[in-house]
Chain A
Amino acid sequence: MALSGRFRSALIIGGQGIRARKLRTFLSMISLFLGVLAVVAVQAGAEIADRAMLSDIELSAGKDGTLVLNFPSNNDAGTVMADTLAGRSDAVGVDNAMGIIGEPGVAPVNPGASPLKYAGRGGYGGPSMVCDQTGCHEIKQDDNPPPPGQAIEVRLIGLTGDIRQFRPFQLEAGRWLDFGGEPSMSPGLVLNREAAAALNQYRLPAELRITGSTANPTPRILGVVHDGSDGPAVYLRADELSLWKTAGDAQGYLSVYLNPSAADIEQTLKARLVARGADPGNLQTYPVEARKQIESELRLLRLIFLAMAALVLLIGIAGILNVGLATVGERIEEFALRRAVGTPRMLLAGIVLAETLIIGLLTAAAAVGVGIVGLKLAASMFGGRFQMLQGVEFPWQAGLAGVIAGLAAGVLGGLLPAIRAARIPIATVMRA
């Protein structure tokens, strides 16, 4: 009750003080506003960047907690993987191959499935490489390379099931792969953005050449997804890919994405692969830790910006402190009088702190409000140009950071004036 009475008294008297000095309160708020806004902006920016990066990294690496098993694709590993994972929804196998879509008998514009921004520059630059269990090797170039033409090279990614539970691809057009029913001789393809853009740009005839295959299938384009990759890639059913992929093309690595609860599949698959001669040392499972990776990448950047925001906030606090000390100087008689009528020193300090805390909270509310409106405006004005801003929501963490900054500024800016107010001697003032 006593604490409640003091708390209420502090709020009532603090409110009276603020109402009596509206202009001064407003000026204090202005001095603090930029500091709190800087904290809100840095926190909001970091959270939005975090989410955008997490979303990108989830597309390419997988959601946090997903287990990934990589292994060399020799010794019928692809067949073992397909047989083991058949009918399981909690694990998806990924097979890889290279393919060329477009005019037959010509060199692709992007050798090595490099991003199209390198088109016509010989791919990523340097010799084309291939990696397998023995290491990475340069691909021997043809003495008589085909002439350049209307074709693009893509990564063909064969899936044994719906991988979107692990890598949340965003469907942008058409439909996703249907894993029910028998595989088709005309493979259904889902293109990523880069592949779709290439097809659109070069108006390619829909013929697919799979590296190592002796015949070229005519694919069906099913849809387009955003997969976070900047090189052209095409997703298809692993069983449809295997119809055209020759056994001699078994190179590189296969991957299996596993739900953490699917330990039995992991053990079975490893056992079967070892039985087929795979080296157990090459069967490594690792968990996806996307958030941890992002946080370590953003930590330093966030700290630098927060330090800058803290500096601006400190200037605001100095402003509150200055105004607070001047105000206490002007209110000596009031505080002495309040002590004379029985107000304890602690409550006097509480009154001054309550005023600066209210100022801090009002400023935080204003800064968070401006942050929310600013973000909405930015999203509506620049959302088309920056994907990060599309449908972006104001992060609650930024609001919380603003409130904490406002409260901290209120405490730091009000502490010294509060101590000074509590020390005012009654006798000296009332005798004067």
Chain B
Amino acid sequence: MTPLIELTGLTKTLKGQGEPRTILSGVDLTVRDGDSVAILGRSGSGKSTLLSLIGLFDRPDGGRYLLGGQDITKLSERRAARLRSDEFGFVFQRFFLLKHLTAAQNVAMALVNGQGWAARRKRRAKVLAALDLVGIAHLAKHKPPRLSGGEQQRVAIARALVREPKILLADEPTGALDTETGALVIEVLHAATARGCGLILVTHDHAHANRMNRVVRLADGRLVQGGQV
């Protein structure tokens, strides 16, 4: 069966004001449908950079990236935007909710993105279904400042799930939450994989990582440890 994601020898060097810094120097990773993979590593090890390459926020300098068997290493921004919309769901540590919009409108943001068009009623049904999936349909009309951290993160997860992506990319989603709420969020993310959605979780928390099918560790720009948990 064709892997969902297949990275081979992926490299990335960041060019800032000082000397160029190699962040990734040959990453190999394979993710299949319904896989959940935890990426561990120290701060600055390149976890988020790897996630931004997988999520097509950025492009690798070298190596090969296959998505569903198709080589997308070099991709136009237009096509990348389409894939971000249709194939990926993103969850970030800082939630990134828009304060002036309600929870439902924040979730609907992923539907009102210029990639296809759904009528208002259909959008509303999808948004409520996504909010229901993460257990906060009753908070649809609340704006972020009136929600707790855990609720805000669940709104962000609903936003990531509303287009029914093939893979969820979560960058330290529990980083801003207490242990109990964090566990709840991981539970929600894990539940998504039960519906056939792949999950790549970047985390520092070994407990959360151990709930995934696989754990890989990023050090010196390479995935140095991996395999089944």
The answer to whether A and B belong to the same complex is yes
Name A residues whose Cβ lies closer than 8 Å to a Cβ of B: 1-2, 4-6, 8-10, 12-13, 16, 19-20, 333-334, 337-347, 425-427, 430-431
**How far is B110's CA from A427's CA once the two chains are assembled, in angstroms?**
18
Q: B112 contacts A20, CB within 8 Å? A: no
| Known interface pairs A6-B114, A8-B117, A430-B96; A342-B85 also in contact (CB < 8 Å) | yes
Across chains A and B, the number of contacting residue pairs, with CB separation under 8 Å, is 88
Q: Which of B16-56 contact A (CB under 8 A)?
A: 48-49, 52, 55
Q: Are B92's CB and A430's CB within 8 A? A: yes
Contact: B112 with A427, CB < 8 Å?
Answer: no
Interface size counted on chain B using CB atoms at 8 A: 32
Can you show 18 pairs from A to B with CB atoms below 8 A apart? A2-B116, A9-B117, A10-B114, A12-B112, A16-B105, A334-B98, A340-B84, A340-B90, A342-B82, A342-B85, A342-B113, A342-B114, A342-B115, A343-B81, A343-B115, A346-B114, A430-B52, A431-B52
Known: A2-B114, A9-B117, A346-B114. 18 other contacts (CB 8 A): A12-B112, A16-B101, A334-B98, A337-B96, A337-B109, A338-B113, A339-B81, A341-B109, A341-B159, A342-B83, A342-B85, A342-B86, A343-B113, A344-B114, A347-B114, A425-B58, A427-B52, A427-B57
A342 to B113, CA, bound (A): 6
User: Taking each of B92, B100, B113, which has the highest tally of chain A beta carbons within 10 Å of its own beta carbon?
Assistant: B113
Between A340, A347, A425, the greatest number of chain B beta carbons within 10 A of the residue's beta carbon is seen for A340
User: Which B residues are CB-close (under 8 A) to A2?
Assistant: 114, 116
Cβ contact within 8 Å between A341 and B85: yes
Decide if A9 touches B114 in the complex (CB within 8 Å).
Answer: yes
What chain A residues lie within 8 Å of B71 (beta carbons)? none
B15 at interface by CB-CB < 8 Å: no
- Inter-chain CA distance A9–B118, complex, in Å, is 10
Given A340-B57, A340-B84, CB of A347 within 8 Å of CB of B113: yes
Partner of A341 from the list B58, B90, B100, B101 (CB cut-off 8 Å) is B90
- Smallest CB-CB separation from B89: which chain A residue? A341
Which residue, of B55, B81, B105, has the highest number of chain A Cβ atoms within 10 A?
Answer: B81
* In the complex with contacts A9-B113, A340-B90, A430-B96, A345-B81 CB distance below 8 A: yes
Nearest residue (CB) in A for B90 is: A340
* A9-B112, A9-B113 as given contacts; A342 in contact with B84, CB under 8 Å: yes
Q: Of all chain A residues, which has the CB nearest B100?
A: A20
B77 in contact (CB, < 8 A): yes
State the majority secondary structure of interface residues on A.
helix
Which residues in A have their C-beta under 8 angstroms from that of B121? none
A341 → chain B closest CB, angstroms: 4
Q: How far is the CB of B17 from chain A (nearest CB, A)?
A: 14
* List of B residues within 8 angstroms of A344 by Cβ: 77-78, 81-82, 114-115
- Residues in chain A near residue B85, CB distance under 8 A: 341-343
Contact A426 B159 (CB under 8 A): no
Residues of A within 8 A of B114 (CB): 2, 5-6, 9-10, 342-344, 346-347
Q: Which residues of B contact A430 (CB under 8 A)?
A: 52, 57, 92, 96, 171
A333 touches B96 (CB 8 A): yes
Please state if A338 and B109 are interface contacts (CB–CB under 8 Å): yes
Within 8 A of A (CB), among B61-80: 77-78
Which of A4, A12, A341, A426 interacts with B52 by CB under 8 Å?
A426
Which residues on the A side are within 8 Å of B55 (C-beta)? 340
Bound CA–CA A4/B49 (angstroms): 35
B residues in contact with A427, CB < 8 Å:
49, 52, 57-58
Ranked nearest first, the 3 interchain pairs of A and B with the lowest CB-CB distance are A342-B85, A5-B117, A20-B100
A9 to B109 Cα, complex, angstroms: 10
Which residues of B from 83 to 127 have beta carbons under 8 Å from A?
83-86, 90, 92, 96, 98, 100-101, 105, 109-110, 112-117
Q: Measured between C-beta atoms, what is the minimum distance from A98 to chain B in Å?
A: 79
CB B24 to nearest CB in A, in angstroms, measures 13
Question: What is the bound-complex CA distance between A430 and B170, given in angstroms?
Answer: 12
Q: B117 touching A4 by the CB < 8 A rule? A: yes
Closest B-chain residue to A347, C-beta based? B114
Query: In the bound complex, how far is the Cα of B85 from the Cα of A346, in angstroms?
Result: 15
* A8: chain B residues within 8 A (beta carbon): 117
Q: Are A16 and B58 in touch, CB under 8 angstroms?
A: no
User: Does B110 contact A341, Cβ atoms closer than 8 Å?
Assistant: yes
User: Could you say which residues of chain A place their CB within 8 Å of the CB of B57?
Assistant: 340, 425-427, 430
A1 vs B112: C-alpha distance when bound (angstroms)? 14
Shortest CB-to-CB span from B16 to chain A, Å, is 11
In whole Å, how far is A39's beta carbon from the nearest beta carbon of chain B? 33
Q: CB within 8 Å of A: which of B150-196? A: 159, 163, 171
Q: How many whole Å from A224's CB to the nearest CB in chain B?
A: 66
The CA-CA distance from A164 to B60 in the complex, in Å, is 83
Residue of B nearest to A342 (CB): B85
Q: How far is the CA of A339 from the CA of B80 in the complex (A)?
A: 10
Q: Enumerate chain A residues within 8 angstroms of B86, measured Cβ to Cβ.
A: 342
Inside 8 A of A9's CB, which chain B residues have their CB? 112-114, 117
